[in-house]
Structure 1
């Protein structure tokens, strides 16, 4: 990092830049694979419905946005073939949002892309150091969350 960088090894900024870099690369690769209609915010929704599906209200709670915004996001993803609404198995009036085959293909592509990024990082700093970095981050996150990992990765809107 150059001395003119405004971040100067500020940990929150560096973590944010690392996350942003991963997400940018992920979406560049997804675009190449034909998933150009997916946006970073969609990943937070996929996180909640993968693997068993979720109700609209569960997604609202998970994402911390309005019912209307979640409904619009689900409509968009349904229109593009990533999710489908099915009758809720326990609530005859409710719906559950599930991944379609295209949605699962996206999840598989995402995991493969993440694996390539992680392999590249391991080659850069060493596999042992990457394992230690992940362990250290896990420990730091747990230390601020009563020994647990948060149940969700929630977007900062």
Structure 2
């Protein structure tokens, strides 16, 4: 047999991320949440702790304000977010605040529950201690790399 050189971590993380997101969407569909675009998750996470704005979503998504507005319109039609009349800080009447609806929170809860299940599957393969060591080590490395806090997550 030919020895396989170590795979760079960046590739392994990309493969793992893709695998987990694909399984997430399969399980979401099985639970009655079909056709959830990946971009939806980034917005749900951004609005999880409080109101955000379309401009902040555009920045997070690395896209134009117009593209972010279209995404938010689609999410609003599906009942995941509501957009208010004033900015999140009330300073600019043109900036609409974006908040999660109850349905948006339900979807976010379903996502988090599924990730717990998927991690449990991996813990069965590699051991819970190994999985937690990976999580703790990676979290520490990322906090250090980003100057003391984990960054918001958006598309690559």
TM-score normalised by length of structure 2: 0.87
1:142 Cα offset (Å): 3.0
Q: What is the match of residue 28 of structure 1? A: 26
Report the CA distance between 1:155 and its aligned residue: 1.2
Asked if the contact 1:138/1:149 (under 8 Å) is kept, the reply is no
SS of residue paired to 2:52: coil
Measure the CA separation in 2 of the matches of 1:129 and 1:35: 32
Name the SS of the counterpart of 1:97 in structure 2. strand
Please, what TM-score do these two structures have when normalized by structure 1? 0.86
Q: Structure 1 residue runs of 4+, over 3 Å off?
A: 2-5
Matched, 1:154 2:136: no
Distance of 2:3 and 2:79 partners within structure 1: 45
Residue number in structure 2 paired with 1:9: 7
Distance 2:107 2:12 in 1: 28
Counterpart position of 1:53: 51
The alignment partner of 1:110 has SS state of helix
- How many pairs does the alignment contain? 153
Aligned residues: CA RMSD: 2.2
Show structure 2 runs of 5+ residues with no match: none
| In structure 2, C-alpha distance between the alignment counterparts of 1:52 and 1:145, rounded to whole Å | 22
Greater shift, 76-85 or 44-53, is seen at: 44-53
1:110-149 pair list within 5 angstroms:
110-146=111-147, 148-149=148-149
Mapping of residues 88-99 of structure 1, within 5 Å = 88=86, 90-91=90-91, 93=93, 94-99=95-100
